[in-house]
Structures are given as structure tokens and as C-alpha cells.
């Protein structure tokens, strides 16, 4: 049996852009992606602390070191620039492996930079 559990989380980053007229997704600074072990095109859940919205989308690489967090396409309607969000990725594994698995959680600073 496989279960889903937290793989990684980028905790409390600020939305820097919202691009409604775009194909869709979330653009994330590549430094944050690497630190959280999230890869391009990976499915993620976005939780908006400011308004309670939750959505799923996929990741696009943002400019490394930029602090960029941009909701694209229809997702742009779920947040405003300056909103604080949590970006969550999940994985599937068997129960025995899951019991000892430790997710990666990063806590960027107020400028979306690694501390």
C-alpha cells in the first residue's frame, strides 16, 4: 500500500507577481526550488495565508536568487502581490518507508531569500 505524505515545503514566502494572461503555474526562484527539493513541472499545492485560498498547479523555474514567486494564469486570481503563501509538495511511498521519512521544510526570509 502507498500513502501520500509531505515531501517538502517552502514556508511563508511572499507573492512578488501575479500574471493573469499566462498559460498557468507558479514561478519559483530556482534557489528556493533547490533548497526545497522541488523540480520544474512538479505538482504543488499553494496555501494562501492572507485569504485562505488553496490550489494545485505545477512549478516553473524562476530566476535564481531573485526571490521570485509568481502565480500565473487563473491562479493569479487566488492571490495578490504581497500575500504570504506556503508551497507544499507531496510524495507517495509505502508505510514502512514513510515512518522514517523526514520532509524538507525551508523558511525563507521576508525577501524570499534563504537564510
Q: What is the pLDDT of residues 69-98, one digit of tens each?
A: 999 999 999 999 999 999 999 999 999 999
What pTM, to 2 d.p., does this model score?
A: 0.96
Residue 110 placed within a domain: no
Residue 55 placed within a domain: yes
Residue 100 placed within a domain: no
Residue 98 placed within a domain: no
3-state secondary structure of 44: strand
80 phi, psi to nearest 5 deg: -120, 155
**Residue whose cell numbers read 485569504:** 51
Residue 31 has pLDDT above 90, yes or no: yes
> Can you point out the beta strands (E) in the chain?
2-14, 17-19, 25-29, 43-48, 54-62, 69-72, 84-94, 104-106
The CATH number for 78's domain is 2.40.40.20
Q: How far apart are CA 42 and CA 59, in angstroms?
A: 6
Q: What is the domain count for the chain?
A: 1
Residue 65 placed within a domain: yes
Active site residue 25: yes
Active site residue 110: no
Residue 115 placed within a domain: no
Residues 29 and 66: beta-carbon distance below 8 Å: yes
pLDDT given at position 23:
82
Catalytic residue, candidates 8, 25, 66, 92: 25
Which residues form the domain of 78? 2-91
Catalytic residue, candidates 8, 58, 89, 90: 58
Amino acid at each position: 500500500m502507498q500513502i501520500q505524505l509531505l515531501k517538502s515545503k517552502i514556508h511563508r514566502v511572499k507573492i512578488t507577481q501575479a500574471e493573469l494572461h499566462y498559460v498557468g503555474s507558479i514561478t519559483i526562484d530556482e534557489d528556493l526550488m533547490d533548497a526545497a527539493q522541488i523540480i520544474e513541472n512538479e505538482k504543488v499545492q499553494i496555501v494562501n495565508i492572507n485569504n485562505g485560498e488553496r490550489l494545485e498547479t505545477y512549478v516553473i523555474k524562476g530566476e535564481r536568487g531573485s526571490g521570485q514567486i509568481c502565480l500565473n494564469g487563473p491562479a493569479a486570481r487566488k492571490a495578490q502581490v504581497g500575500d504570504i503563501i506556503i508551497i507544499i509538495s507531496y510524495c507517495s511511498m509505502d508505510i514502512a518507508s514513510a515512518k522514517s521519512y523526514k520532509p524538507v521544510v525551508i523558511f525563507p526570509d521576508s525577501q524570499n531569500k534563504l537564510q
